[in-house]
C-alpha cells in the first residue's frame, strides 16, 4: 500500500530544546532536567536533523536562537502550554490559559500611545497575555508575514518599498500639542507659536513622521527653535523635557498622561498638525478578538478618530 510517509515529531527532543531555549543555555537546561550535557545536546541535534535546520547559533561564548529556532520555540511554548492545560483539565485543576497577543510596536511610536491602544485588549472578559516586540516597521512586517506577530502598531502605513503581503488599518488620528516644564511652558505660552522662535526644542530623530511634520510646521509658522536634542526614544526625550531642557511635541491623545507622568504643562496646540496611528495585519479584515477590541476602542478614545 503506497502513500506519503508521515513525519512524526519527537516531543522529547522538542522538550529538551524548549528548556534550553527558555533557560538560555544547554548547561542550565541540564541542571533543570537533571541530565548530562551530552544527552541534552544529542537530543537537540536529533531535533535539528528531523527539521533539517539549525536551531542555535554561536554568539561569542553563548548561544542564540536562529530564525528557525525562534519559530520552533514559539510553537513549543504553545504546545507545552496546551499540554499543561490538558493535565489541568483531566486532574480537575482550574483551566484557562490567557489568549496570547503578539504585538509589534514600531520603535518611534510614543510608549503612552502604545499603552493607550493596547489597554482594551487587557480589559476583555477572557484574559489576554500581551507580548510586545519593538523594532523598525519593515522588520516587524516581515515577522507578521511568517505569523510570528498578530498585529503591528505604527505611526505610518507600510511604505510601498516594503514587499510584504499585509494590510494597513487606520485606527485614528490625533492633534499635536507642545508641552514643557512648568517654568519654560509659562514663559513661552504668551504669543505661541511665534514664541517658539529661538526657544529650546527637543525633537524626534530625522526620518520619523513627526519630525518631518514638525519641520514643515515650523517653516509654515515662520519660527526657528533652537534644537537642544534629538531622540530615537520618546521616553528619553520626555525625561529631558521634564528637566526643562526644552519643550516638545506630543499627541493630544496622550497629553493628559504625559502631563501626569512628567509634570509638564501645555504651551499650545500645533494647529494643523496631525498624528495618525495604524494597525498592520495579515488580515484584510481584523479577526483576532484582542485586535478587534483595540480597533473599536481607538475609534472611541482618540479625540479625532477615524473609522477603520
| Cα–Cα distance for residue pair 66/187, rounded to 1 Å | 54
Q: Is residue 29 part of a domain?
A: yes
Query: Are 277 and 210 in the same domain?
Result: yes
Summarize the confidence of residues 40-62 as an average pLDDT: 86
Cell of 254: 496622550
* 37, 63, 91 - which closes a domain: 91
Question: In this structure, is the dihedral angle defined by the CA atoms of residues 15, 21, 22 and 27, taken in order, positive or negative?
Answer: positive
The pLDDT, as a whole number, for residue 295 is 86
Is the pLDDT reported for residue 306 higher than 60?
no
Give this prediction's pTM: 0.64
Average pLDDT, stretch 298-304? 68
Please give the pLDDT value at position 303. 52
**Residue 9: pLDDT over 90:** no
pLDDT over 50 (residue 51)? yes
The torsion of the CA quartet 262, 176, 293, 170, rounded to 10 degrees, works out to -150
Distance CA 37, CA 19 (A): 13
Residue 107 near residue 134 (C-beta atoms within 8 A): yes
On the question of pLDDT at 244 being above 80, the answer is yes
Q: What is the mean pLDDT of residues 136-147?
A: 85
List the alpha helices (DSSP H) in the chain: 11-23, 26-33, 37-51, 67-91, 111-118, 137-145, 182-188, 209-221, 234-242, 255-262, 289-301
Domain end (from 52, 70, 91):
91
Grid coordinates representing 88 are 489541568
Q: In which domain, by residue range, is 87 found? A: 11-91
Report pLDDT digits (tens) over 148-199: 888 999 998 887 776 677 888 888 889 999 999 999 999 999 999 999 999 9
Q: Is residue 4 in some structural domain?
A: no
Q: Which of 26-35, 213-222, 247-256 has the lowest mean pLDDT?
A: 26-35
Residue 90 pLDDT level (bands cut at 50, 70, 90): low
Rg (CA), the chain: 24
Give the other-Cβ count within 10 Å of 271's Cβ.
11
Say what percent of the chain tops pLDDT 70: 90
Shortest CA distance to 33 belongs to which of 47, 23, 46? 23
> Is pLDDT at 139 greater than 50 in this prediction?
yes
Instruction: Identify the CATH number of the domain in which residue 33 sits.
Output: 1.10.10.10
d(CA 108, CA 114) in angstroms, rounded, equals 10
Please report whether residue 6 resides in a domain: no
Does residue 250 share a domain with residue 117? yes
Query: Element (H or E) spanning 152, and its range?
Result: strand 151-154
pLDDT band at 4 (very low <50, low <70, confident <90, very high): very low
CATH number (domain holding residue 156): 3.40.190.290
Residues 77 and 122 in one domain: no
Q: How many domains does the chain have?
A: 2
Residue 51 lies in a domain: yes
Q: How many CB atoms lie within 10 A of CB 75?
A: 12
> In the listed set 68, 91, 114, which residue is the last one of a domain according to the structure?
91
Q: 6 pLDDT exceeds 60?
A: no
pLDDT at 182: 96
pLDDT at 243 over 90: yes
For 160-228, what is the HEC assignment? CCCCCCCEEEEEEEEEEEEEECHHHHHHHCCCCCHHHCCCEEEEECCCCHHHHHHHHHHHHHCCCCEEE
Can you give the pLDDT at residue 89?
A: 59
Give the model's pLDDT for residue 5: 44
The Cα 84–Cα 75 span in angstroms is 14
Question: Same structural domain for residues 257 and 281?
Answer: yes
Residue 150 lies in a domain: yes
pLDDT surpasses 80 at 208: yes
Which grid cell sits at 20?
534550553
Over the chain, what is the mean pLDDT? 85
User: Do residues 267 and 223 make contact, with C-beta atoms less than 8 angstroms apart?
Assistant: no
Amino acid at each position: 500500500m503506497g502513500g506519503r510517509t508521515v513525519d512524526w515529531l519527537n516531543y522529547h527532543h522538542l522538550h529538551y530544546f524548549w528548556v534550553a531555549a527558555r533557560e538560555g543555555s544547554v548547561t542550565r537546561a541540564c541542571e533543570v532536567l537533571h541530565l548530562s550535557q551530552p544527552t541534552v545536546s544529542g537530543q537537540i541535534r536529533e531535533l535539528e536533523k528531523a527539521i533539517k535546520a539549525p536551531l542555535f547559533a554561536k554568539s561569542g561564548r553563548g548561544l542564540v536562537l536562529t530564525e528557525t529556532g525562534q519559530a520552533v520555540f514559539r510553537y513549543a511554548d504553545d504546545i507545552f502550554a496546551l499540554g499543561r492545560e490538558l493535565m489541568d483539565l483531566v486532574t480537575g485543576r482550574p483551566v484557562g490559559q490567557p489568549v496570547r497577543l503578539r504585538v509589534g510596536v514600531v520603535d518611534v511610536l510614543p510608549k503612552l500611545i502604545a499603552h493607550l491602544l493596547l489597554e482594551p485588549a487587557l480589559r476583555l472578559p477572557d484574559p489576554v497575555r500581551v507580548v510586545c516586540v519593538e523594532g523598525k516597521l519593515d522588520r516587524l512586517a516581515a515577522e507578521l508575514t511568517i505569523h510570528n506577530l498578530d498585529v503591528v502598531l505604527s505611526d505610518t502605513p507600510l511604505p510601498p518599498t516594503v514587499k510584504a503581503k499585509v494590510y494597513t488599518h487606520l485606527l485614528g488620528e490625533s492633534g499635536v500639542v507642545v508641552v514643557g516644564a512648568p517654568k519654560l511652558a509659562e514663559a513661552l505660552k504668551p504669543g505661541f507659536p511665534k514664541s517658539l522662535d529661538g526657544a529650546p526644542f527637543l525633537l524626534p530623530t530625522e526620518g520619523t513622521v513627526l519630525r518631518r511634520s514638525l519641520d514643515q510646521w515650523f517653516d509654515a509658522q515662520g519660527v526657528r527653535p533652537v534644537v537642544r536634542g534629538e531622540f530615537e526614544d520618546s521616553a528619553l526625550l520626555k525625561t529631558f523635557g521634564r528637566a526643562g531642557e526644552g519643550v516638545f511635541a506630543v499627541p493630544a491623545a496622550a497629553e493628559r498622561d504625559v502631563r501626569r507622568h512628567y509634570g509638564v504643562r501645555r504651551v499650545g496646540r500645533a494647529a494643523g498638525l496631525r498624528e495618525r496611528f495604524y494597525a498592520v495585519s495579515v488580515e484584510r479584515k481584523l479577526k483576532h478578538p484582542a485586535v478587534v477590541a483595540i480597533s473599536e476602542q481607538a475609534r472611541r478614545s482618540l479625540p479625532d478618530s477615524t473609522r477603520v
